Amino acid sequence: MPINVICPGCHARFAVAEKFAGQQGPCPKCKQPITIPKLDEQVVIHAPDHSEAGAIDSKGRNVLKTYRKTDAKFQPLVLTAVAGFVLVTLLVALVLRGMQDQPDTLMSVLGAILLGPPLAWAGYTFLRDDELEAYQGMELAIRSVGCGLVYALLWGVYMFVGGQLWGADAFTKGLEIWQMFALVIPLLAVGAGAAYVALDLEPGSGFFHVAMYFATTVILRLVAGMSVLPGIGTG
């Protein structure tokens, strides 16, 4: 069994045969005289004990050990693809608007659903917490789909809750500004919560995440010939 030796001068590490135990000789690197430890004087370095409570996370990684994170910050290809998809959706809505007299409500609904997952994915790439390990691949796709569909569902909740609070014809007659805020603010808070649960976004980042989605779908409504929000203005 070789003896591990550390030079006290240059701190070089090397191994020597057992027969040199207890003898003195020059360091092969700095030539400083050193004494080889005896067999019973060796320092034994044990493997890390992973049985320590809290040392292992759910993925079997040692949480006490630092490691290099996989960076997912600002992915130009993803952002370009999502921007292209959004532009195509808006273009389709604009073309369909020109082919009919009435606002295309169906296109607005389908667009809100289809735009949710890609916008959730794109927003995550630059709003995520740098201190957390980034979601990647299929896991990120599933989480983005779930988050995006929750965002789209909030449009339905807006209509349902408004109808329950102020009557089925509230959106036809029009909403007061305070009524609109009473609906929008809680839904934005729910959306920020969905971003936290699905993508681990901080509250502030989650708010901007869901706000980005709603801003895009509001533009879609305008392109489709509808009002900014149901119950506001005409549409």
What pLDDT does 235 receive? Answer: 42
**DSSP category for residue 5:** E
Tokens, residue 116: 């949710």
- Tens of pLDDT, residue by residue over 157-174, are 999 999 899 887 888 888
How far apart CA 112 and CA 183 sit, in angstroms, is 18
Give the confidence band of 60 by pLDDT, cuts at 50, 70, 90. low
Q: Which residue has the higher pLDDT, 103 or 175?
A: 175
pLDDT, averaged across the chain: 80
Quickly state the pLDDT bin for 142 (edges 50, 70, 90).
Answer: very high
Predicted confidence at residue 193, as pLDDT, reads: 95
- Does residue 66 register a pLDDT over 50? no
Distance CA 184, CA 17 (A): 76
Span 172-185, mean pLDDT?
89
pLDDT at 138: 93
pLDDT at 1 over 50: yes
CA dist., res. 197 & res. 205, Å (int): 13
